[in-house]
Structure 1
Amino acid sequence: MKINITLIIILLTLTAFAQNKKNLGPYYSEKDEKEILKVMENQVKAWNDGNMEGYMEGYWKSDSLRFVAKVGVQYGWNLTLDMYKKNYNDKEGMGKLSLKAVALEFINKNIVFMIGRWQVEGKKNAGGHYTQIWKKIKGKWVITTDHTS
């Protein structure tokens, strides 16, 4: 009985620790986490300044970028930029963006899976969740896949 109670306490402690660390995975690097969060911070600043191209700097500038939304999957940095510009056509329409990483998992040294929340306040209040795959390409962390709902 004592062994079962001890085992339960250990498992609960490990579970609490794992949840506290956002399931960071065995390849976690504090430096890389800070770099990713800095990219997100730069995206928010660019968005809130009305700079859509600056916001898009957080995305992989490639025809292989994947963006998944209600309408389906679209490929390419330029198509994603065009989609954003169509939905948020000026600074006033863009409103104020906030992003929050809820969970991170470092799949390997160059790939991170993220779950987060987004919120836009302004003319069109909107919000939801996203899942993203981030890759370190040429020494820079960028979003290569984004599923936003």
Structure 2
Amino acid sequence: MKKIVLLLCIICASNSFSQTTVEDDIKEINKVLKKQRIAWSNNNLEEYMEGYWKSDSLKFYSTHGVIYGWYDTLERYQKAYPTEAHTGKLSFKINDITQISDAAYYVLGEYHIKRDMGNADGIFMLIFKKINGEWKIIVDTST
């Protein structure tokens, strides 16, 4: 009987630890998104891109197809949003953050860009992976 109680205590403790870790991960991912929102709204695309994996393996998928790599993704943003009037003020509505594995999550959300030249709205799915202790976007699908 003592062994069963001990086993139950271990299971409960590990579930509590796991939940805390998931909650901490989600907080950290939200911090990355907040930094990106602020950088975008300040027309600082290079700082915005710090939330992405700085790798040729980064994938950005939109209605224009797939872009591979951090630098090509930055270049795409710079062409599409060349001035502060184009970047405007960004806000997100996060609809779901779900753990895929110990070091990966997907994020479903909506983006809203308020700007004088006309607002822009869309949806996205991001895959975050913990790389070298930091949460980075490794895949971005946006419309």
Please indicate the TM-score interval, normalised by the length of the shorter structure. Answer: 0.7 to 0.9
2:24 aligned partner: 31
Letter in 1 for 2:45: M
TM-score, length-scaled by structure 1 = 0.80
2:131 maps to 1:131: no
Letter in 1 for 2:40: W
Counterpart of 1:73 (choices 57, 66, 83) is: 66
Structure 2 runs not aligned, ≥5 long: 1-18
Letter in 1 for 2:35: N
Indicate if the aligned counterparts of 1:46 and 1:54 stay in contact, CA closer than 8 A.
yes
Q: What secondary structure, in the 3-state scheme, does the structure 1 residue paired with 2:113 have?
A: strand
Structure with bigger RCO (C-alpha 8 Å, 6+ apart): 1
Q: In angstroms, what is the RMSD of aligned CA positions? A: 1.6
Moved over 2 A (4+): none
2:48 maps to 1:55: yes
Q: What secondary structure, in the 3-state scheme, does the structure 2 residue paired with 1:68 have?
A: strand
* Shift in alpha-carbon separation, 1:104–1:71, aligned structure 2, 3 A: same
Counterpart of 2:136 (choices 102, 122, 142) is: 142
Percent identity reads 42
Superposed displacement of residue 37, structure 1: 0.2
TM-score, length-scaled by structure 2 = 0.83
Q: Could you tell me how far apart the structure 2 residues matched to 1:93 and 1:108 are?
A: 36
Indicate if the aligned counterparts of 1:27 and 1:106 stay in contact, CA closer than 8 A.
no
Deviations 1:26-67 (A, max 9, x none): 896111100000000000111111111010011111000000
- How many residues are matched? 125
Structure 1 runs not aligned, ≥5 long: 1-25
Which structure is higher in helix share?
2
Q: What secondary structure, in the 3-state scheme, does the structure 1 residue paired with 2:75 have?
A: helix
